[in-house]
Structure formats: structure tokens, C-alpha cells
Structure 1
Amino acid sequence: MTGKILRFDDVRGYGFIAPDQGDEDVFMHANDLLEEKYLYQAGRRVEYFLESGDKGPKAGEIRLVRQAAPPTARGPRAGAAVQDVAHDEEADCDILTAPDFQSEVTEALIEADGTLTAAQLQHVRQRLLRLAQEHGWVDPS
């Protein structure tokens, strides 16, 4: 099954998913997440197995759906050399949403230097997000 997270409280560890099929909202719990819980935010798309819980439908084995947004129509930068490329350049381009971009940056920063503090991570992420937005590297929505 697939759907969109309506809300998720990572402190309490639970939330709800609106299924794409339009059925009743599905309960989600942090114990059923396959990735870090801070990545699960309202509006993010997920896939899951539908289970029957004590109080109604429950999601199991919840994972984020990675979606590439359509590339923006942007030409080459001034002074950039234009190359004749034989493959489809749009297929090589992933335009991420701002939350997806920040998640990717966070993972890269933690992997590169595990000694960064949370404040340092947030500062670098915000600056990189502004840079990405200025260049059209992330979806503006």
C-alpha cells in the first residue's frame, strides 16, 4: 500500500497515513519504520503493509517513497560549455523536495564527520538548502 503521512509525532512515536486508495486513515508507529524516524514528516509519501490493529488499520514495515520531481527548465549557466551528450540528461537529474534534500544532506554530513553538533548540522543544512534553492536544485514547493 502507499499513502501520504498526515502527521507523525517523532517524540511520541506515532502518527497517521492517508492511503492513496482513499480508505480510512492508517495508524503508524515508530517501531514499524524502516528508516530513521526524523525522516517521517507530514506530507512525505510512504509505502507499507496494511495490518489489522486493535483499533483499526495499522501500517507495518513503513518505508519512504523516493520520488524524483520533474526537472526544472533551466538552460546552461553563463559561460558554461555546452556538450553534445548522447544520453537523456533529464533521467540523470533528481530534483528533491526541501525535506528530502535536508535528509540527504544530514546523512552525508553525519557520515563525513560524526563529531558535528546538532547546531552545526542545522546551520550547514540551512545554508546548503538556501544555496540549492537559489540554483533550482530543489523543488520550490
Structure 2
Amino acid sequence: MGKSLLVVDEVLGLVSGKVLRFDDVRGYGFIAPDDGGEDVFMHANDLRDEKFLFTPGTTVEFDVVEGDRGLKATGVRVLERGPTRSAGPAGGADDEVMCDVLSPRELMQELTEALLEAAPTLTAAQIVQVRQRIAKLAHAHGWLES
């Protein structure tokens, strides 16, 4: 009779950091530890607070485990809420909004994936046209890394 092998993640300790991004639809995101090092993966199943609280810039505390796919956060809890977007143009110039800044290549990858999910019947030529127009718009507004 064969033996089963149980793989247990190694707990590395309690850490604090800031949420870089969290996709509450897909249920995962990444945290930048305060002490530096590589970003830590977080999954919705490991959150102690409601998913909507995990916005970019939110300070969190979590245990880090070394798994077979890299560092993973467990028992993630909010310490301090991150900045929130203002409801409209009434927001002042002092409102700091944290967001991902993508490279042009990352934008094209994200955009292609979103277009294929939203409208799978688009042709390759249509996707290229939309991507080119959005890239011009993003460059004009400084939404991309240089």
C-alpha cells in the first residue's frame, strides 16, 4: 500500500506591509512587506477582514509561509485603511490615490485579457485597434511607466 506525503508550508513569522493590489473578483492580490524583500501573495481565503477593505495602500499584518510556489500571506488583517478614491470632482488636490502603474507591456497584457473576457468574438485586428488607441490615451495622461 502506498504512503501519502503531507506537505506542510513553513511559517516564517508575523510581518506587516502594504497591499499593492487585490482583485476581489478573482480573490487574490499582493502585499509589499515593510522590511522589503519579495512581494507576498495573498488569497481571499486567508483574509480576516472583509475583502473590500483590502485596497492599495492599506497597511496589513499577516503571517508569512514559504510554500512550494513562493511566499504566501495567511491570517491577513487590516491595521490601517489605505487611501480611498473621492466620490467625484469635489475631491481636493491633496487626495492621494494609490494605484498600480503599469509598463506598456503589462497594460497590453491586462487589456487583451479584459477584452477577450468581455467580448470573446472580437477579432485580433479589433483588439489591436483598441489597444493602440488606449495606449495613446494612457501615454497622454501619464498613466504608464516610462
The two structures have a TM-score, normalised by structure 1, of: 0.49
Q: Which has a greater percent of strand?
A: 2
The two structures have a TM-score, normalised by structure 2, of: 0.48
